[in-house]
Amino acid sequence: MTTERIDARDVLDANAKTTEAFSARVVGRFVRSGPDVWDDYVFEVCDATETVAVMADVPVQVEAEGARFRMRRQGEVLRLQWLPNPASGDADPPDRTQFLATCVRPWGDAPGRGAAAVIAEKLSSTAPKPSLD
């Protein structure tokens, strides 16, 4: 069995926010592999079936497959599986397309100017101006 290891910088890179409140099942949690903050995280599968109420406007990391996402809760990073609302006739098993359309919206930091642009601006503003004499 292969252990899933994630770099500490990548354990939760929020790429979406929830758009509404919904329920999710905890699939597992990421725990640090060592005592230091830079140590990799290891994924541990949860044996118990714990259901979590996810609120609207929460930063999450939508995973590449299925209706799964990562979220921080009480200092832990959890991997969760969206649970469709049975009263609304939602798909069972959870449908990724429906999850993406109804539960999350893309989110992230606005792209900033790169370091090269800042350095070029600094250099051009301090360089002596050529004389036209």
- Which pLDDT does position 122 carry in this prediction? 73
Distance set, CA 39 to CA 56, 69, 71, 93, 110 (Å):
31, 22, 19, 35, 28
pTM of the model as a whole: 0.74
- For the chain, which residues make up each domain, given as ranges? 5-126
List, in sequence order, the alpha helices (H) in the chain. 96-102, 115-126
Q: In a structure prediction context, what are the per-residue pLDDT tens digits for the chain, which is 133 residues long?
A: 567 899 999 999 999 999 999 999 999 999 998 888 889 999 999 887 899 999 999 999 999 999 999 999 998 999 999 998 776 655 566 789 999 999 999 987 656 666 777 777 777 766 566 666 6
Q: Which of 4, 7, 17 has its CA nearest to residue 72? A: 17
Pair 71, 78: CB distance under 8 Å: yes
- Which pLDDT does position 20 carry in this prediction? 94
